[in-house]
Amino acid sequence: AQSVTQPDIHITVSEGASLELRCNYSYGATPYLFWYVQSPGQGLQLLLKYFSGDTLVQGIKGFEAEFKRSQSSFNLRKPSVHWSDAAEYFCAVETSGTYKYIFGTGTRLKVLA
Amino acid sequence: DGGITQSPKYLFRKEGQNVTLSCEQNLNHDAMYWYRQDPGQGLRLIYYSQIVNDFQKGDIAEGYSVSREKKESFPLTVTSAQKNPTAFYLCASKARGRSGELFFGEGSRLTVL
């Protein structure tokens, strides 16, 4: 069965520092991969997605992610974090053709001024 | 404006009572989803529906029921059989075809007294 693992529950970084949030997936074929962000008490917003092709994908708000098949990973990165990036981040995978969409447990990001 | 509307935003229920959460979308999306969110557990899939009059169980369907009689509506009933129903519930939808973004409602917070 497909699954998504986000090993870091909380991450704290200083404003202006770089950021990397980890995501590992378990799925036989190439999955569709996503990163979402959630502000407290709200729904989720899509940051970026990967279906195929270039393994480095760009998203909104200056985020990017790299798909590494050999490591079953899809890590999210940002070169310089802003205080407004403080939120919870979720990695997700969709099994191609089934519409089943599974999320990881999330990583809560805190940004220090 | 197109979007997903969940109601009510807050709901209190006594133990042993069933409660129905509403989810309506005007995005003309075929697929709709219900997720439960608990702290530290991310989003867990309850039910999803690819088309009208069809739905599939997710990973935690026990104690919940759904219907999909209209394309725009996907109500979730939390039954008295659900042993720990206090949670934040999120509804989402997605267009048919190649995998894409899930659009989320703002959620419903259910508290069992």
For A36-71, the pLDDT digits (tens) are 999 888 889 999 999 888 899 999 999 999 999 999
Residue B62: strand, helix, or coil: coil
Which residue type, as a one-letter code, is found at position A42? Q
pLDDT at A15: 97
Lowest mean pLDDT among A30-34, A35-39, B29-33, B101-105: A30-34
Tokens 């979402």 correspond to A36
Distance of alpha carbon B34 from alpha carbon B104, whole angstroms:
10
SS (H, E, C) A41-73: CCCEEEEEEECCCCCEEECHHHCEEEEEHHHCE
Q: How far is A79 from chain B (nearest CA, A)?
A: 24
- What's the pLDDT tens digit per position in B46-99? 999 999 999 999 999 999 999 999 999 999 999 988 889 999 999 999 987 766
pLDDT at A52: 81
Q: How far is B89 from chain A (nearest CA, A)?
A: 10
Tokens 């059989």 correspond to B81
Distance of alpha carbon B98 from alpha carbon A52, whole angstroms:
12
pLDDT band of residue A27 (cuts 50, 70, 90) is confident
Tokens 């729904």 correspond to A43
Residue B58: strand, helix, or coil: coil
Q: Nearest-CA residue of chain A relative to B43?
A: A103
pLDDT at A75: 98
B47 touches chain A (CB under 8 A): no
Distance of alpha carbon A111 from alpha carbon A62, whole angstroms:
16
**Nearest-CB residue to A105 (from B35, B41, B102):** B41
Percentage of chain A surpassing pLDDT 90?
Answer: 71
